[in-house]
Chain A
Amino acid sequence: MSQGKLTIAGREFNSRLMVGTGKYASNDQMVAALEASGAEIITVAVRRVNLAEMGKGCMLDFIDPKKYTLLPNTAACFTAEDAIRTCRLAREAGLSDMVKLEVLGDEKTLFPDNEELLKAAKVLVGEGFTVLPYCSDDVILCKKLEQLGCAAVMPLAAPIGSGLGIRNPYNIKIIMEAVKIPVIVDAGVGTASDAAIAMELGCDAILMNTAIAGAKDPVAMARAMRLGVEAGRLAYEAGRIPKKLYATASSPLTDLIGS
């Protein structure tokens, strides 16, 4: 199966599925799910070291840095200032410039605060970060993020962790027409068909966490998502038939058996 590669800021990836590392029942389960997903880019959060539990080791003990590109996020940041600080710390901890920038506006919806997002993106791009912003499904905003020098845009398909699926296919399509940088659907996916729908639209990639980690069997769901992403991408590249109101026979209408 040959599928085009995903290119982000000049780096090539085979997998178009990016996955989070949060909410797993155990590190072993997380490792198995990451493996089953085929993902090459995985998100992580930046938090204080728990001084009382340092002896137990940290998450990175379980992750092979040669296999995965870590994408630190700025989850739980509600101001540009906090997000910028988190990115700088992430760069020092992980020695990589790539960050998933999110600046949240509201705890109930976890929708982005786009004003603060633009502010943070500008500063971080200026400091040499490869910025992948989680953003609203707003084409004007996405164009502004592209103009600022972001490496991709990551519009939400539905609220984070909601599992509602792709609620905004037309907005996502408009964004894809308007920007040249990769469009990565981030947030909202619930099951494999949602992943396929996003990829059939022509999205460059999809990022998810809860849909896998929260499934009854996360490892099986990770594989389902991988297949959904691959199927959707292949269908997009194959070019689907146009939708029509009436039937078209698949069998010949000539040389019918005589009466």
Chain B
Amino acid sequence: MTIIVNGEARQMADGITVRQLLDELQIPPTRVAVEVNLEIIPKSAYAERALQDADKIEIVHFVGGG
């Protein structure tokens, strides 16, 4: 399936979970927030939440700012 992660199209295995996506991208889950189709996914749900074809995912974290 194809999902959009931070604006980029990516090929992923069907039914991959948020947790698996983060692992695949080597992103430690503790310091990010994940939004799927504008819905924020609580960290406790990363392992269960399965993604679907065409889902739009935003993965954000903190950077320097004022």
**Chain A residues touching B, majority SS:** mixed
Distance of A88 Cα from B8 Cα, bound (Å): 23
Distance of A45 Cα from B64 Cα, bound (Å): 6
Whether A88 pairs with B40 at a CB distance below 8 angstroms is: yes
Near B by CB (< 8 A), chain A positions 25-81 give 30, 43-49, 51, 54-55, 58-60, 70, 72-73, 75
Residues of the A chain whose Cβ atoms lie less than 8 Å from the Cβ of B66? 20-23, 43, 45, 73, 75, 160-161, 207-210
Size class of the B contact interface (CB-based, 8 Å): 20 to 34
**In the assembled complex, A90 has its CB within 8 A of some CB on chain B:** yes
Number of interface residues of A (CB under 8 A): 37
Residues of the A chain whose Cβ atoms lie less than 8 Å from the Cβ of B60? 46-49, 89, 93
B29: min CB distance to chain A, Å:
10
Partner of A44, one of B6, B26, B43, B63: B63
Whether B31 pairs with A60 at a CB distance below 8 angstroms is: yes
**In the assembled complex, B55 has its CB within 8 A of some CB on chain A:** no
Q: A45-B65, A73-B66 are in contact. Are A89 and B6 (CB under 8 A)?
A: no
Whether B64 pairs with A59 at a CB distance below 8 angstroms is: yes
Distance of A163 Cα from B60 Cα, bound (Å): 30
> Top 9 A-B pairs ranked by shortest CB distance?
A45-B65, A209-B66, A20-B66, A92-B33, A93-B33, A44-B62, A21-B64, A22-B64, A89-B33
Residues of A that sit less than 8 Å from B by CB: 20-24, 30, 43-49, 51, 54-55, 58-60, 70, 72-73, 75, 85, 88-94, 160-161, 207-210
